[in-house]
A and B are shown apart, each in its own frame.
Chain A
Amino acid sequence: MADITADPARTRARAWNSDEARARTRKRYAAERRFRMYGIAALCFATAFLVILFTTIIGTGWTAFLQSKFLLNVTFAEDVIAPDGKRDEQTLRLANWDKIARTALYQVIGANEADRKERKDANELLSRGIDVQLRDMVLASPDLIGQTKPVWLLAQGNVDALLKGAIDRDIPEDRRQLNNRQLAWVDAAVDKGILAKKFNTGLFTFGASSQPETAGLLVAIVGSFFMMLTVALLAVPIGVAAAIYLEEFAPKNRWTDLIEVNINNLAAVPSIVFGLLGLAVFISFMGLPRSASLVGGLVLTLMTLPTVIIASRAALTAVPPSIREGALGVGASKMQAVFHHVLPLALPGIMTGTILGLVQALGETAPLLMIGLVAFVVDVPSTPLEPATALPVQIYMWASSAERGFVERTAGATIVLLGFLFIMNALAVFLRRRFERRW
Chain B
Amino acid sequence: MSTGLLTLFCAAAFVLVWWLARSRARSIEQANRGQRLHSRPVYHGVYVALLTVIPALLVVVAWAIAEPFYLSKIMSAALPPDVAARPAGEQSLVLLVINSLADGWSRLTAADIAQVREAGPDVQRMLAAKDIFLPSAPEGWMVDIARDVSQAKSVSRLLATGVTVLAAVGGFFYGWRKVATGLRARNLVERMMLLGLMSASAVAIFTTIGIVFSVLFESIHFFSMVPVTDFLFGTVWDPRFSAAGSDSSGQFGVLPLLWGTLYISFFALLVAVPVGLMSAIYMSEYANERVRTVAKPMLEILAGIPTIVYGLFALIAFGPFLRDFGGSLGLDISANSVLTAGIVMGVMIIPFISSLSDDIISAVPQSLRDGSYGLGATQSETIKQVVLPAALPGIVGAVLLAASRAIGETMIVVMAAGIAANLTANPFEQVTTMTVKIVSQLTGDLEFNSPQTLVAFALGLTLFVITLGLNVFALHIVRTYREQYD
When C-beta atoms are compared, the residue in chain B nearest to A413 turns out to be B312
Q: Is the CB of A244 within 8 A of B197?
A: yes
- 1-59 of chain A: CB within 8 A of chain B: 28-29, 31-32, 34-36, 38-43, 45-47, 49-50, 52-53, 56-57
Contact of A262 among B205, B439, B443 (CB under 8 A): B205
A273 to B186, CA, bound (A): 43
Q: Is the CB of A414 within 8 A of B279?
A: no
Distance (whole angstroms) from the CB of A292 to the closest CB of chain B: 13
Chain B residue at smallest Cβ distance from A425: B304
Give the dominant DSSP class at B's interface.
helix
Looking at B194, B307, B316, B464, the one whose CB has the most chain A CB atoms below 10 A away is B316
Contact A46 B275 (CB under 8 A): yes
| B295 close to A43 (CB less than 8 A) | yes
Q: Would you call A305 an interface residue if the criterion is a C-beta within 8 Å of the partner chain's C-beta atoms?
A: yes
Given contacts A39-B286, A369-B439, contact A277 B211 (CB under 8 A): yes
Interface assignment of A196: CB less than 8 Å from any CB of chain B? no
User: Is residue A380 contacting chain B, with contact meaning CB distance below 8 A?
Assistant: no
- Report whether B347 and A396 are in contact in the complex, using a CB–CB cutoff of 8 Å: no
> Contacting B464 at CB < 8 Å: which of A273, A364, A370?
A273
Do B201 and A245 touch across chains, with their CB atoms under 8 A apart? yes
Which of B76-84, B212-220, B237-245 contacts the other chain?
Answer: B212-220
Stretch at the interface among A176-184, A187-195, A279-287: A279-287
Complex alpha-carbon distance, A244 and B194, angstroms: 10
A65 touches B (CB below 8 Å): no
Check B435 against A266 for contact (C-beta < 8 Å).
no
B457 at the interface (CB under 8 A from A): yes
- Decide: A49 and B347 in contact? CB cutoff 8 A: yes
Residue from B415, B438, B443, B448 with most neighbouring chain A CB atoms (10 Å): B438
Closest to B479 in A: A264
Distance in angstroms between the alpha carbons of A437 and B411 in the assembled complex? 38
Residue from B190, B203, B275, B463 in contact with A42 in the complex, judged by beta carbons closer than 8 Å? B275
Q: B434 to chain A: closest CB distance in Å?
A: 9
Is A259 engaged at the interface, CB distance under 8 Å to the other chain? yes
By a CB distance below 8 angstroms, the chain B residues around A272 are 408, 410, 435, 438-439, 460, 463
Chain A residues whose C-beta falls within 8 Å of the C-beta of B404 in the assembled complex: 268, 270
Which chain A residue has the least Cβ–Cβ distance from B274? Answer: A42
Count: A-B pairs, CB below 8 Å: 248
B278 touches A396 (CB 8 A): no
Q: How long is the Cα–Cα vector from A284 to B448 in the complex, in angstroms?
A: 9
> Using a CB-CB cutoff of 8 Å, which residues 199-236 of chain B contact chain A?
200-205, 207-208, 210-211, 214-215, 217-218
Q: Is B155 an interface residue (CB 8 A)?
A: no
B214 touches A53 (CB 8 A): no
A421 touches B304 (CB 8 A): yes
Tell whether B302 is near chain A: CB-to-CB under 8 Å: yes
Chain B residues within 8 Å of A277, by CB: 207, 210-211, 214-215
Contact across chains for A242 and B214 when beta carbons are under 8 A apart: no
Contacting residues of chain B (165-221) with chain A, CB-CB under 8 angstroms:
186-187, 190, 193-194, 196-198, 200-205, 207-208, 210-211, 214-215, 217-218
Q: Write out the residue numbers on chain A whose beta carbons fall within 8 Å of the beta carbon of B307.
A: 363, 365-366
Cβ distance A323 to chain B, nearest Cβ, rounded Å: 19
Task: Assess whether B450 is interfacial by the CB under 8 Å rule.
Answer: no
A250 to B379, CA, bound (A): 45
Which residues of A lie under 8 Å from residue B315 when comparing CB positions? 399
* Nearest Cβ on chain A to B288's Cβ, whole angstroms: 12
Give the complex CA separation of A334 and B197 in angstroms. 13
**A270-B435 CB under 8 A given contacts A50-B298, A53-B305, A265-B472:** yes
Scoring B residues 291 to 323 as 1 if CB is less than 8 Å from chain A, else 0, what string do you get? 100010011011011111111110111000000
Contacts of A36 in B (CB 8 A): 282, 286, 380
Inter-subunit contact A56/B313 (CB<8 Å) = yes
A133 to B381, CA, bound (A): 70
Most chain A CB neighbours (cut-off 10 Å) among B201, B208, B299, B411: B201
Chain B nearest CB, measured from A297 CB (Å): 14
Given contacts A272-B460, A363-B307, contact A28 B381 (CB under 8 A): yes
Cβ 8 A contact of B211, one of A241, A269, A395: A269
What separation, in Å, do the CA atoms of A238 and B203 have in the docked complex?
8
Contact B309–A281 (Cβ < 8 Å): no
| Interfacial chain B residues near A62, Cβ < 8 Å | none
CB distance from B320 to the nearest CB of A (A): 11
Q: Is the CB of B463 within 8 A of A273?
A: yes
Which residues of A lie under 8 Å from residue B275 when comparing CB positions?
42, 45-46
A239 to B200: give the CA distance in the assembly, Å: 7
Contacts of B460 in A (CB 8 A): 272-273, 276
Cβ of B21 within 8 Å of any chain A Cβ, yes or no, is: no
Chain A positions within 8 Å of B298 at CB level: 43, 46-47, 50
CB nearest to A396 among chain B residues: B308
For A208-239 the 0/1 string (1 means CB < 8 A from B) is 00000000000000000000000000000111
Given A32-B379, A273-B460, A407-B316, A335:B468 Cβ within 8 A: no
Given contacts A249-B197, A270-B407, is CB(A276)–CB(B214) below 8 Å? yes
B211 and A259 contact, CB distance less than 8 A = no
- Does residue A75 face the partner (Cβ distance < 8 Å to B)? no
Instruction: Give Cα distance in the complex from A365 to B435, angstroms.
Output: 12
Asked if A153 lies at the interface with its beta carbon under 8 angstroms from chain B, I say no
Q: Is B75 an interface position by the 8 A CB rule?
A: no
Query: Is B471 located at the chain interface by the 8 A CB criterion?
Result: yes
A35, B380: Cβ atoms closer than 8 Å: yes
Residues of A close to B214: CB separation below 8 A:
276-277, 280-281, 285
Task: Report A-chain residues with C-beta under 8 Å of the C-beta of B217.
Answer: 280
- Are B306 and A42 in contact, with the CB atoms below 8 A? no
A412 to B336, CA, bound (A): 23
Closest to A42 in B: B278
Complexed CA–CA distance, A281 and B307 (Å)? 25
Residues A392 and B306 in contact in the complex (CB < 8 Å), given A43-B295, A50-B298: yes
Residues of A within 8 Å of B149, CB to CB, are: none
Residues on A with beta carbons closer than 8 Å to the beta carbon of B302: 46, 49-50
Q: Is B215 in contact with A273, judged by CB distance below 8 angstroms?
A: yes
Q: Is B430 an interface residue (CB 8 A)?
A: no
B196 shortest CB reach to chain A, Å: 7
27 pairs, CB–CB < 8 Å, chain A vs chain B: A47-B298, A50-B301, A50-B302, A53-B309, A57-B309, A57-B313, A241-B196, A241-B200, A242-B200, A259-B202, A263-B204, A266-B204, A269-B464, A269-B467, A272-B408, A273-B211, A273-B464, A276-B442, A280-B218, A302-B207, A309-B201, A334-B190, A359-B304, A365-B411, A399-B311, A399-B315, A425-B304
Report A's interface with B, CB cutoff 8 A.
Answer: 28-29, 31-32, 34-36, 38-43, 45-47, 49-50, 52-53, 56-57, 60, 237-239, 241-242, 244-246, 249-250, 258-259, 261-266, 268-277, 279-281, 284-285, 302, 305-306, 309, 333-335, 359, 362-366, 369-370, 374, 392, 395-396, 399, 407, 410-411, 414, 417-418, 421, 425
Contacts A259-B204, A335-B190 supplied; 18 other A-B pairs, CB < 8 Å: A31-B381, A36-B282, A43-B298, A46-B279, A56-B313, A242-B203, A245-B197, A259-B205, A264-B471, A269-B408, A272-B438, A276-B215, A276-B456, A365-B307, A366-B439, A396-B308, A396-B311, A425-B304
Ranked 6 nearest A-B pairs via Cβ? A270-B408, A39-B282, A363-B306, A280-B214, A241-B200, A42-B278
